[in-house]
Amino acid sequence: MPLVRLELRNEYGLGDPELYRGGFRKEEPKAILDGVAVSGLVGILRQLGDLAEFAADVFHDLHEQITATAVRGRQMMTRVQNIESTVPSIEKAFGKQTSYVHFAYVAGSDWHARIRDEQSIVLSTELPRFMMDSYEECRDPPRLFLLDKFDHAGTGACLKRYSDPPYFKRVWTASQMENSENFQKEKKVHKTKRKGSRPRHGEVKHAVYISHHDSSGIRFASPSIDGQRFSAVNVSSPDMRLNLEFLSRSTSFASKTRENYAEQTSYVNPQGVPDDLDYSEVPNPNLHSKDSHLSVPVLHDEPSADGLYNVAQHDLPQEQSVPRSSSVTWDEKLEIVKPTSPVSYNDILVDRVQDLENVISVQDSEPLQVNFKTENVEHAKIEALNQEDILCHIGKTSVPVSGVSHFDEVSSETDNYVDAPNTLDSESETEAGCHTKSEVQILSNFSSQGMEPRTEMRQVIAVQSSEPSDVEAHNSSHSSLSQDVTPRFLHLSSLNGSEHVQSPYATEFLQKQEQTVVDDFCERNAPNISETKFHAYECIDSVLSPISGTFSSPTMMLAETRCEGSILKPDPLADVSGVPSIKLWTNGGLFGVEPSKPPELGSVNTQNAPCMQNEPTSVDANSQGKVAGEPTNLDSSVQSNSTEDQFFARGYNTVQKFKGSPSCHDNQHVYNVKQDSNVSAEPFLQRKFEHNSEDTDVSNYASSDKLDMTRNSASSGAPLTDIYCTGSRQNGPSQSTVGISSSFSELAQRFLANTIHREASLSTPSGNINTEIRKPKGATSCLHDDIEVSNEVASQRTDEQSTNKKVAHVPAKEPVSFTSYYHEQSSPPLEYMKISSHPMNGLDNSKLKLDFSGGNLHENSEDATFPSFQLHHGPVDNLPVVLSESDDDTFHRSCPYSSEELLSPRSYTSSEQWEQEGRSEYVDHELNDVPYRFQSSTTSISRSMGFEQMNHSSISKPDGLEKFDAIIDSSKVPSQSVSAMELPGLDSVLSVKNQQERKFPSLRENPANVEVQSTNELPPPPPLPPMQWRTFKLSIKLDDNDPNISSNLNHLDELQPLRCPSQIKEQYLPGSPFVNEPISPHSDKIQDQLKLNWEKRSTRSVSHKEVDRREDLLDQIRNKSFNLRRAKISMPRDIPRPKTSITNANVAAILEKASAIRQAFVGSDKGGDDDNWTDA
């Protein structure tokens, strides 16, 4: 409602209103006009007064505001002048200063601007005047307070009952309270849901633990130089993370990678958040605070450089001592963290300890110390890691170790891995955002890494093992540095959440690596390492992307190799003889070889940008490329390490961005990272153990590598954990499936879980499509194998996936099929109806067709609900038959009637009756089409009967008087029958007239009375009669006015042919008035009367002489056989025809009518319309 600032009243309204109320009518008109003019002028004056007032208000307000602003300006001027006065002295003092360095150490002022409290912006006192006027003008509430003494509620209760302004405030507060309560309840519900979903995570974890335990055992058995491999893995994981776009752009590694990462992170957010409410709840500050609180004291207790080691040792006993129940509690607390960290960390912890010891012993303590200092600075992250380790250890201890064979698990996992890429592909196809795919691919890479060492990666390992010293040196240095860098990155990521900040750290890390390598291991391949690291450094500086690091210098693969990756793949396959090995290889290619991924992805991108499915092939190609670029393996590894760190930071950033809860995510990430490190380390160790004959220093290397891996893996695992967390949280069933398919590598399980989750969530087409897509891309046996495996896996997928797919597909298909079915059914009916109706109408006119079309449409609408519309056909079919002969003109006359009748049962009955009548009507139809229209207008039997009766009456009475009487009767009793009301004109009139004849025979006996009635009571019948009937009515009037009957007879003769069929029909109608008269006794009478009427009619028609209508009336009334007369009269309608034919027709008609009367009498008992007649 707009507020009225000012109401400018009409100038005449401002004058004397009495002028316009007729108060001055007695005055002279001229004086009145002058008065009106003067009042108008007065109104104008008042308008001017209003204008002046309004202008005064406006300018007053403006004046006030301008004065206020002027005051402010003056105050400002004074303040500026004050500052101007003081500034020169300060400038002088400042200019006198020789050194300005000490200004940097000046504390400054603690002043803070006092932001005005924006409360009470709207005050009642600030209301504009035009609004205040309304308040001022309003009246006070009634003095109800006088009744307070009678009210027990207290003072003001009565007035409150009348008006309670604070009521709205109270209601608002109550509603707010309810909302807050509801919100709290929802929170609780969400928490409970999360708890409910937790068991699934536990299952997944269980499976993962089992697999991990096996892998861990193998890992222990095999000391490894995992550092290199692990670094490569880490590098690959971020690479996999990269989007297709990123890969396509991989030629330019510089800033695009960052952008891609940023994009990935940005993409991740929308997906993860909506998918899992539980996940969104995860960032609960309480959980985070708990975790951080627990972790922080440990770090604080051991802030020294050996803090991590001590923490690890400290954690071990805790883990061992902690029972399973404790793990459950941790699960409850961490909820999401646990599922993401299925790895058993006992081994990791042990490895860490060993690695730390080795590193400390082998390497100089300085870099490590520095690193640990940095760690202390950023201890929170490390603490989180430690806590996570503890948790993981607990989980592992609680979970029984499964003695499943490693290879069997590997095979099963390979299938799962194959599924994973398929799912990734499907996801890539479905989802526009590729970050999820990349994440899944990363997971797959990790899992595949575990698979790779057995197969073709051995070659790479062997090549790497040829230079163990370098590797060791690098690993050692990298381990220490990686520890430093990773926490930094974590810290930076947590603080800034931007990759740019990380870049300097990465460079520093590389430099440190170089230094450490050079210092510690100058004996060995120091130059090579330094060079490699330098390359890595450059790569990192330039790109800060693992892809760039891997491809830039060491591997020599670059973008060229990317396209070649697919070609390189078959070679490793050829190397691997066993089919399962092929599977492994495929899996490993899919997931394991990380550095190769970027080129593959690039190639894939070039081939199919939207599809990330080429990753496995690309991975294989990369691994081969590494093999080919043997001399640069170390470099690649080093670079991969560095890149891993960077990726870790990035992944961490992404995780933060993704989840929006940095604290919880940090913990989860660290935890996941540890898991990843274990997983990744295991395959590497296995590889080394199998292939490295030169590993005398393997133990040391392994230890150092483990450290690196733990740290690097933490960095690399961040994204994975993110993905995994999302997947596990999102898909409970997927987790269960993962638990079922427990494999040796946790990453594989994670990947499976993710993949399953992806599939379930996306419910995209299964791997078949993916395989198809891959085939054209990969064009290699490896790819085909992968595809096959993926297909198998797709078939072997758990019920959850199938159910999900079903759910996804069924609803989609069912509605479609249903609609299609419906469409099929519905559409044919329409056509069918048309077809059927048209043949039925074929006999009829186009009018009938039209009528049918209407009916068809209506039926079609009904068919929409009932596919079996054929039920409607019956009536439709019947109708055309009836209509073809009788109802042609009904449509003419009143389309709505006809259309309605067709569908209504009434029409049916009428049609039946018409059929009954049809036998006799056929002859008449041919002759009389015009009168048929009138009959056709009758929609019901009653109408037809009335109409017939009318005809009979009119015919039976040779004079127009009868009709006149009928009209009079109709006017008297316009609504005796529904049919009369419905039918326009003649039907009602005549039917009523017949009734009246029965009711008032005396009137008939006395035509004079009838005439009087006609004169007095001649209001037209309610329905508009047709023109013919109007003319007829006129004739009747003429009859009334002028006793000359000849004119009436002429009119009647003109009208009779129109009525003829109706008369004939009426004879057959069951509802005929014969009901009142028993047939048997009156049959003779009827016939006699018919003859009489016919004779009269014939004589009248032939000679056109006057007939004593009164006598006829009397006769009719006496005999009560007007029906018969009507029947007879029907024949005279044919009078215009030759007499011979008329006589024959009359004879035939009489005979038929006699039989019809019998039928009608029999049917009259049934017809409901007879009641009207009997009543009449």
Partner 1 sequence: MARAGGMTNAVNVGIAVQADWENREFIANISLNIRRLFDFLLQFEATTKGKLAALNEKLDVLEHRLQVLEVQVSSVTTNPSVFN
Q: How far is the CB of 263 from partner 1 (least distance, A)?
A: 37
* Residues 344/350/351/356 CA torsion (nearest 10 deg): 140
Q: Which of 689, 636, 730 is nearest to 276 (CA)?
A: 730
Residues between 79 and 98 that touch partner 1 (CB under 8 A): 79-80, 82-83, 86-87, 89-90, 93-94, 96-97
Q: How many CB atoms lie within 10 A of CB 799?
A: 12
Whose tokens are 């296995």? That residue is 686
Q: Is 61 in the site for partner 1 (CB under 8 A)?
A: yes
> Looking at 17, 27, 72, 776, which residue binds partner 1 (CB under 8 A)?
72
Q: Which is nearer to partner 1, 103 or 162 (CB)?
A: 103
- As a whole number of angstroms, the distance between CA 1176 and CA 1031 comes to 28
Least Cβ distance, residue 112 to partner 1 (angstroms): 9
**Quick one: 99 or 693, whose CB is closer to partner 1?**
99
* First-to-last C-alpha distance (Å) of the chain: 63
> 663-700: buried (b, 16+ CB within 10 Å) or exposed (e) per residue?
bbbbbbbbbbbbbbbbbbbbbbbbbbbebbeebebbeb
User: Is 861 a binder of partner 1 (CB under 8 A)?
Assistant: no
Element (H, E) at 627: helix 615-628
The residue within the footprint of partner 1, chosen from 2, 29, 154, 1081 (CB under 8 A), is 29
Least CB distance to partner 1 at residue 136 (A)? 22
Indicate the DSSP class of residue 780.
S
Residue 382, token pair as written in the block = 């490390």
Instruction: Quote the tokens at residue 75.
Output: 């105050």
Residue number, 57 or 357, with CB nearest to partner 1: 57
Find how far residue 705's CA is from the centre of its chain.
51
User: Could you tell me if 666 and 490 are in contact, meaning their C-beta atoms sit under 8 angstroms apart?
Assistant: yes
What single-letter amino acid sits at 1042? D
Answer yes or no: are the C-beta atoms of 749 and 213 closer than 8 Å: no
Give the single-character DSSP code of 887.
T
Closest distance between partner 1 and the C-beta of residue 96, in Å?
A: 7
**8-state DSSP, 496:** T
x/- track of binding to partner 1 for residues 1077-1116 (CB under 8 A) = ----------------------------------------
- Which CB, 64 or 877, lies closer to partner 1? 64
Which CA distances in Å does 815 have to 147, 812, 825?
68, 6, 15
372-401 residues in contact with partner 1 (CB under 8 A) are: none
When the beta carbons of 14 and 882 are compared against partner 1, the nearer one is 14
Instruction: Write the burial class of residue 86 (CB in 10 Å: 0-12 exposed, 13-18 middle, 19+ buried).
Output: exposed
Q: ∠ CA(273), CA(278), CA(279), 5° rounding?
A: 45
Q: How far apart are CA 974 and CA 579, in angstroms?
A: 99
Q: Is 33 in the site for partner 1 (CB under 8 A)?
A: yes
Other beta carbons less than 10 A from residue 526's beta carbon:
18
Phi, psi values for residue 27, rounded to 5°:
-70, 170
The answer to whether 446 and 675 have CB atoms below 8 angstroms apart is no
Based on CB atoms, which residue is closest to partner 1, 65 or 179? Answer: 65
Between 72 and 1166, name the residue whose CB sits nearer to partner 1: 72
**For residue 742, which phi and psi values (nearest 5 degrees)?**
-75, 135
Angle, CA of 222, 327 and 406, to the nearest 5°: 30
Q: How far is the CB of 137 from partner 1 (least distance, A)?
A: 21
Q: Are 591 and 673 in contact (CB under 8 A)?
A: no
111 part of the interface to partner 1, by CB under 8 A: yes
Residue placing its CB nearer to partner 1 in the complex, 36 or 930: 36
Which one of 8, 812, 1008, 1151 is in contact with partner 1 (CB under 8 A)? Answer: 8
Binds partner 1 by CB under 8 A, chosen from 65, 252, 1044, 1144: 65
**Which one among 17, 20, 27, 66 touches partner 1, defined by CB under 8 A?**
66
Residues in contact with partner 1, counted by CB under 8 A, come to a total of: 50
**Which residue among 17, 76, 178, 1148 contacts partner 1 (CB under 8 A)?**
76
By beta-carbon proximity to partner 1, the closer residue of 5 and 170 is 5
Q: How far is the CB of 79 from partner 1 (least distance, A)?
A: 5
Cα separation, 1167 vs 1070, in Å, equals 7
Nearer to partner 1, 13 or 23 (CB): 13
Under the criterion CB under 8 A, does residue 2 sit at the interface with partner 1?
A: no
Query: Toward partner 1, which CB reaches closer, 128 or 156?
Result: 128
Among 103, 172, 407, 922, binds partner 1 (CB under 8 A): 103
Q: Whose Cβ is closer to partner 1: residue 104's or residue 138's?
A: 104
- The reply on whether position 122 binds partner 1 by CB under 8 A is no
Smallest CA-to-CA distance from 789 within 563, 607, 588 is with 588
* Selected binder of partner 1 within 23, 27, 58, 817 (CB under 8 A): 58
Q: How far is the CB of 58 from partner 1 (least distance, A)?
A: 4
Q: What is the total residue count of the chain?
A: 1176
Question: Which amino acid does the sequence have at 494?
Answer: S
Shorter beta-carbon distance to partner 1: residue 87 or 816? 87
Pick 8 or 812: Cβ nearer partner 1? 8
* Residue given tokens 């019948």 in the structure block: 1021
Contact between residue 654 and residue 723 where contact means Cβ atoms under 8 Å apart: no
Minimum separation from the CB atom of position 734 to partner 1 (A): 56
Cβ closest to partner 1, residue 112 vs residue 149 = 112
Nearest to 385 by CA among 206, 638, 648: 648
Q: Near partner 1 by CB under 8 A, which window of 62-70, 545-553, 820-828, 1145-1153?
A: 62-70
Which of these segments, 61-69, 161-169, 840-848, 1106-1114, binds partner 1 (CB under 8 A)?
61-69
Residues 260-285 as b/e (b if ≥16 CB within 10 A, e otherwise) read: bbbbbbebbbebbeebbbbbbbbbbe
Query: Segment 762-781, which members bind partner 1 (CB under 8 A)?
Result: none
Spatial distance between the Cα atoms of 490 and 197, rounded to a whole number of angstroms: 29
Would you tell me how many other CB atoms lie within 10 Å of the CB of residue 1068? 27
| Tokens 């008369």 -> residue | 1063
Chain positions 36 to 55 lying near partner 1, rule: CB under 8 A, are 36-38, 40-41, 43-44, 47-48, 51, 54-55
User: Given the complex with partner 1, which of 103 and 172 has the nearer CB atom?
Assistant: 103
Please give the radius of gyration of the chain, using alpha carbons only, rounded to the nearest integer.
Answer: 52
Q: Does 127 bind partner 1 (CB under 8 A)?
A: no
Please identify, among the stretches 33-41, 291-299, 581-589, 648-656, the one whose residues bind partner 1 according to the rule CB under 8 A. 33-41
Considering the complex, state which of residue 74 and residue 1030 has its C-beta at the smaller distance from partner 1.
74
Name the segment binding partner 1 (CB under 8 A); options: 70-78, 574-582, 702-710, 842-850.
70-78
Q: Which of 106, 122, 123, 138 binds partner 1 (CB under 8 A)?
A: 106
Q: How far is the CB of 563 from partner 1 (least distance, A)?
A: 59
CB of 52 or CB of 189, closer to partner 1? 52
Where do contacts with partner 1 occur on this chain (CB under 8 A)?
5-6, 8, 10-12, 28-30, 33-34, 36-38, 40-41, 43-44, 47-48, 51, 54-55, 58, 61-62, 65-66, 69, 72-73, 76, 79-80, 82-83, 86-87, 89-90, 93-94, 96-97, 103, 106, 108-109, 111, 113
